[in-house]
Structure 1
Amino acid sequence: MSQAAALPDAIREIERTATDCAATTPKPVVLVTGADLAAPAMRLLSDCDVVFAGKTPTEDDIVALCAQHDPVAIIVRYSKVGERAMAAAPSLKVVSKHGSGTDTIDKVAARARGIEVVAAAGANAAAVAEQALALLLACAKSVTALDARMHSGHWDKATHKSLELGGRTIGLIGLGAIGQRFAKMVDAMGMRVIGFDPCAKDLPVYIQSVDLETIWRESDVVSLHCPMTDDNRNLVNASTLASCKPGVVIVNTARGGLVNEADLLAALQSGQVASAGLDSFQVEPMSPGHPFQGAAHLTLSPHIGGVTSDAYVNMGVAAAKNALAVIAQHAVAA
């Protein structure tokens, strides 16, 4: 056989070898602590083997899946990712949050193992800010209580008085992407906006930066938009609520652990807090018989502030991109 005639055979052999290698070389595993990801995010992860943990995975489920699949990345939607999960996945390089809050990830354990923790900061800012506004308006205008009364055949026009928000002071704790977006909304309603965030810089002119004591003392409404840390757990408690104006409104679309629930309920019952709108809770999902259930002047939603069709795509894409960027960095370094 001539050298020219042998060349196509050689090329076919190279292609066959490459195909065999691709078939036998496992794809990097990405574990998703949920049941799904948006289609655009899945397309980004097409070169990975994506494993889903299901709708309501426990921390033990995550540990078992890490031991079984040894993921290079975990995209966190639900449950906790702690030291046990990280120890069970020696190939793990990155834990990427499908959202902005990383309090369900053990960042100390991750740092000790050289695992990066990244978040989809700002991906759900519009959704959560809109939920905060919805809860604020529901509280100020007694939307849910009046709706229930109307459906029961009542007409409370002669006896009901709502809270007018224009000209009132709203104190925002946390001035990241969500807090600043919400600030723009309430400024447009004519509210005076004060805010506390030691990390925030170059704030827009309609946000007045103040200390926490001023937030409690001057606010007619206090709205939480900060991550939860060991330092600010139970930030809203009997003492801070007592420092507020009588009849203050509390809104929380951040993390449930920021609010001492027993203290808030007592303040609602005494009238120190006129109303509260909550989208997150100390234990989720809320257990049957929780003291909040049926409580007056309390509007609740099941931690769905960031759950919109747009935010679902934005968070999935950002989480996938963040994970892939870290994986690529490690590949180059290797």
Structure 2
Amino acid sequence: MSTITLDKIKTIKTLNNIAERGLNVFDKENFKIDNDSENPDAFVLRSFNMHTMEFGDNLKAIARAGAGVNNIPVDKCTEQGIVVFNTPGANANAVKEMVLTSLMASSRNLFAGVTWTKSLEGEGDQIPKLVEAGKKQFVGKEIKGKTLGVIGLGAIGALVANDALDLDMDVIGFDPFISVDTAWSLSRNVQRAMSIEELFANSDYITVHVPLTDDTRGMFNQQTFSIMKPGVHILNFSRGELVNEADMEVALENGTVGKYITDFPNEKVLKMKNTVPIPHLGASTKESEENCAIMAARQVKEFLETGNIKNSVNFPNASLPYTGKKRVAAFHKNVPNMVGQITMAISNYDLNIADMVNRSRGEYAYTMVDIDNKVNGDIIPGLEEKLKQIEGMVTTRII
């Protein structure tokens, strides 16, 4: 049960089926799940496409129960002062297990072997003999002693790298933006590649775990294939667009790439030689869906109750211990003297500042200020309106 009492019940609307354990995070004293609401305080969703939606003036937060936010108009949300959350790491174990399963199964030609075996239906007593005669076409190779290149050492990549070491593989990692938290969790036995070209040249298997950006789009292409070991296996559980499919088709045909395992099949991929098309199962486990739902709900709840932000894709992360004092939360342009104007507006009401935090992200910033005075009632009359008049202010709340 929440220890915080809000000034009014907040409305949460879901746009996909969200695991019940996630929805249970919202206590009934402060929150209401209302999927008929036309102007909720927050949305919680998975893959629902929001790009054609219009947002009400009451909307404060959107939480994606998953890592990717391509289905959310993030820029539009930022302009309107709506914080967008995702849940990095909540599905990491599910994806890691699928990567390692596919790594081993494809190396042993398990998928093709099972498909061929099922085609023997109807051969009756001849099946055992046919199996023994035909199994040689599916001779594979062991992963032990081979080198796995891991591109992107975030929550998923780090888990894959560490477990691959336990499978007696050599592991090379490349991530120029590795976080401190990930660095602490990564085994010291993961070799660091100084460039992505170094990883390409030395890997028998390559798995990629990076977001889709202008820099990563089509990163697997004719030029990069030419650097790799002949017959390399490439595993893509991140985004289909990371691969130039026309170049991949040629590379698979001539053996430059030995096998392409992808969680993002389409018509072109299905026609390619030596592909293992998986129907987007990377994070499809009951546990993963529950973990993502719980994490998304907790982030929304924390933000609505205290203003604290964690795992936002458009606002800066910011946290200030909540002590029950009145709190001003302001999202504004990242321009000079904004903090000064905010504190001046507060002091003009004869209010003292107990604590504050200011964090920026690109063109925008987020400021929280705790008021030291004991304030009667739910609001400080006139203060919020005064803050909204500051040039460059996007949204304000008094919690």
* Helix, strand or coil at the partner of 2:173: strand
- Aligned AA (1:235): M
In 2, are the aligned partners of 1:103 and 1:227 still within 8 Å (CA)? no
In 2, are the aligned partners of 1:93 and 1:326 still within 8 Å (CA)? no
Deviations 1:40-84 (A, max 9, x none): 2121234434355xxxxxxxxxxxx8xx712222223013334x5
Aligned to 1:14: none
1:240 aligns with 2:209: no
Q: For 2:221 and 2:139, how far apart are their aligned partners in 1?
A: 28
Displacement of 1:308 in angstroms is 0.8
- RMSD (CA atoms): 2.4
Aligned to 1:99: 66
Displacement of 1:110 in angstroms is 2.7
Q: For 1:104 and 1:164, how far apart are their aligned partners in 2?
A: 39
Residue number among 278, 284, 287 corresponding to 1:301 in the alignment: 278
Residue number among 205, 229, 236 corresponding to 1:221 in the alignment: 205
1:325 aligns with 2:302: yes
- Aligned AA (2:282): G
1:166 aligns with 2:144: yes
- Aligned AA (1:327): L
Alignment of 1:18-97 (within 5 A): 27-34=9-16, 36-47=17-28, 48-51=31-34, 69-82=38-51, 85=53, 87-97=54-64
Aligned to 1:17: none
Residue number among 255, 268, 273 corresponding to 2:252 in the alignment: 268
Q: For 1:261 and 1:74, how far apart are their aligned partners in 2?
A: 35
Deviations 1:150-194 (A, max 9, x none): 223343333443122111111111111111111122111111111
Displacement of 1:294 in angstroms is 4.9
Distance 1:278 1:88, change over 3 A: same
Alignment of 1:96-175 (within 5 A): 96-153=63-120, 154-155=130-131, 156-175=134-153
Displacement of 1:99 in angstroms is 1.5
| More off after superposition, 140-149 vs 105-114 | 105-114
* Helix, strand or coil at the partner of 2:24: helix
Displacement of 1:273 in angstroms is 1.0
Distance 1:217 1:106, change over 3 A: farther
Q: For 1:196 and 1:105, how far apart are their aligned partners in 2?
A: 29
> Which 5+ residue runs of structure 2 have no aligned equivalent?
1-6, 121-129, 308-325, 329-397
* Helix, strand or coil at the partner of 1:138: helix
- Aligned AA (1:326): F
Aligned to 1:209: 192
| More off after superposition, 149-158 vs 120-129 | 149-158
- Aligned AA (1:312): E
* Helix, strand or coil at the partner of 1:266: helix
Q: For 1:173 and 1:91, how far apart are their aligned partners in 2?
A: 40
Residue number among 273, 295, 312 corresponding to 2:289 in the alignment: 312
Deviations 1:117-153 (A, max 9, x none): 2221211111000011111122211111111222233
In 2, are the aligned partners of 1:139 and 1:297 still within 8 Å (CA)? no
TM-score with structure 2 setting the length: 0.66
Q: For 2:218 and 2:48, how far apart are their aligned partners in 1?
A: 21
1:280 aligns with 2:249: no
In 2, are the aligned partners of 1:95 and 1:118 still within 8 Å (CA)? yes
State percent identity of aligned pairs: 29
Distance 1:123 1:323, change over 3 A: same
Structure number with the higher helix fraction is 1
Displacement of 1:105 in angstroms is 3.0
In 1, are the aligned partners of 2:249 and 2:273 still within 8 Å (CA)? no
Q: For 2:58 and 2:294, how far apart are their aligned partners in 1?
A: 23
Q: For 1:276 and 1:142, how far apart are their aligned partners in 2?
A: 12
> Which 5+ residue runs of structure 1 have no aligned equivalent?
1-24, 53-64
In 1, are the aligned partners of 2:18 and 2:293 still within 8 Å (CA)? yes
Distance 1:31 1:267, change over 3 A: farther
Distance 1:89 1:41, change over 3 A: same
In 1, are the aligned partners of 2:108 and 2:138 still within 8 Å (CA)? no
Q: For 2:43 and 2:118, how far apart are their aligned partners in 1?
A: 46
Distance 1:236 1:89, change over 3 A: farther
In 1, are the aligned partners of 2:77 and 2:83 still within 8 Å (CA)? yes
* Helix, strand or coil at the partner of 1:193: strand
Which protein, 1 or 2, shows the higher relative CO under an 8 Å CA cutoff with sep ≥ 6? 1
Aligned to 1:19: none
Q: For 1:192 and 1:103, how far apart are their aligned partners in 2?
A: 34
Distance 1:51 1:296, change over 3 A: farther
